[in-house]
Amino acid sequence: MIVVLKKGISEEESERLKELLRSENYMVKEIQGVEETVLGVVGTIRKDFRHFETLPGVAKVIPISKPYKLVSRELHPEPSVIQVGDVAIGGDRLVVIAGPCAVEERKRTMEIARWVRRCGAVLFRGGAFKPRTSPYSFQGLGEEGLRILAEVREETGLGVVTEMTSPSQADLMVKYVDVVQIGARNMQNFELLKCVGRIGKPVLLKRGLSATIEEWLMSAEYILSEGNERVILCERGIRTFERHTRNTLDLTAVPVVKELTHLPVIIDPSHASGHWKYVIPLAKAAVAVGADGLLVEVHPEPEKAISDGLQSLKPEKFYQLMEDLTFLERAVRKEGRIAP
C-alpha cells in the first residue's frame, strides 16, 4: 500500500511512523515527491486499510492493485536507472552488452572483448556456467571462466555480465562479476532469486521460456523483496508454435513492461532469433520500441564456437550493427547517443 503523509509532518513524526510500521514486519520505503511524501509499505497487510489512516501523520492510504508491489509504477512512478560502474542502464542512452555465449579460453575471450569495446559496447557478456538442455553439452569453464572475465575487466575496463545457476556460486559472483544474470530456465528458481537479492549485485533477469509478463515481474519482485533494487529485465523471446526462429521475440513486452514497472528493459535478439542474420533487424526493432539496451552475442569464428555459434555476429557484422544504431538512436531517442 501507499501511505501519503500529511503536509508539514516533522522528520521526527515521520521516523516514528516508519518505526511503527517496521515493528509490524512491513518493508517501508520513503519516496520524496514534488508536492508530497509517501511511504511504500509492503508485506502481508493484516489490518483494514482504514486503520493506517488513523496513525499520526498519515493523510491517506492507497492500496496497490498489482500483485507485484516493489517493481510497480504505483509505488515508484519514475523510471529507475541502474548504475554499473560508469554505465547507466535505463537512462537517456542505449546500452549495448556484447560478447560470446560462453567463455572458451583466455586469448579468444580477450580478442572479442577488445573488439566489442572498440565498436562501442560498454559491458561484456560471457557465460562461465552454462545450463544446457543436454547434460552432455558444454557446461562452461566455471571459476576459470570467471577469472578470465575478471582479466577482461582489468584490461579493457568493461564491466562483466555472467550467469549464476546455483546459490552455491554466490561467493564467486561477488568476487568476480559486475552484473549477475539469471537465465530463462531459472526465472522461477525462487531460492536462486532470493539469493541474488541478498548478494546486492545488479541483476539481469531474463524472461522465462513460457512466462507471462506478470510472472516475469513477480520474479523480479522476489529480488527486490530481499532488498536489491538493481534489477534489469531482459526479453529474450518466448516459446511459441513457430519453428522458423529459435524463439518468438515479444517486442510488445517493452512498452507494456515500461508502463507497468520502473525497471529498465533490454532485449536479447541473439537468443530470440537463434540465427545471426536476424539479430541486426531485431536489434533495430528493439531500439525503435524503446528498449534501454541490447544483449548481443559476438564471435569471430561462429562455426567453431562451443556454444550457440549460429546466433553469434561476426565482428564486422557487430560493427555494422553499432554503426546503424548510432543513426537509429538519433531518430528515436532525445539524446541520440549510445552509452557512455
- 57 Rama class: left (phi>0) / alpha (psi -120 to 50) / beta: left
pLDDT at 75: 84
What burial letters (b/e) apply to 212-249, b meaning 16+ CB within 10 Å?
A: ebeebbbbbbbbbbeebbbbbbbbbbbeeeeeebbbeb
pLDDT at 136: 59
pLDDT at 232: 98
Whether 199 and 228 have beta carbons less than 8 Å apart is answered as: yes
Residue 170's identity, in one-letter code, is A
| Number of Cβ atoms within 10 Å of the Cβ of 139 | 17
Query: What's the grid cell of residue 143?
Result: 571459476
pLDDT at 338: 62
pLDDT at 67: 86
The domain over range 82-332 is classified in CATH as 3.90.550.10: no
Chosen CATH of 2-62 out of 3.30.200.20, 3.40.50.300, 3.30.70.1140, 3.40.50.2300: 3.30.70.1140
Average predicted confidence (pLDDT) for the chain: 91
pLDDT at 47: 79
Query: Whole-prediction pTM value?
Result: 0.88
pLDDT at 333: 65
Q: State phi, psi for 154 to the nearest 5 degrees.
A: -65, -40
Q: State phi, psi for 140 to the nearest 5 degrees.
A: 100, 165
pLDDT at 7: 85
pLDDT at 160: 98
Q: Where are the alpha helices (DSSP H) in 40-142?
A: 49-53, 106-119
- Find, among 75, 70, 65, the residue nearest to 2 by Cα: 75
Q: Tell me the pairing of strands 95-99 and 123-125.
A: parallel
Q: How many CA atoms lie within 13 A of 163 on its CB side?
A: 24
* Residue 327 pLDDT class (50, 70, 90 cuts): confident
pLDDT at 33: 66
- On the question of pLDDT at 276 being above 60, the answer is yes
pLDDT at 336: 53
Cell 528458481 sits on residue: 189
Tell me which of 1-5, 45-49, 118-122, 132-136 is least confident: 132-136
* Residue 164 pLDDT class (50, 70, 90 cuts): very high
Whether 164 and 203 have beta carbons less than 8 Å apart is answered as: no
- On the question of pLDDT at 241 being above 70, the answer is yes
User: For 80-135, what is each residue's pLDDT tens digit?
Assistant: 999 999 999 999 899 999 999 999 999 999 999 999 999 999 999 999 997 766 77
Domain boundaries of the chain, sorted by first residue: 2-62, 82-332
pLDDT at 130: 78
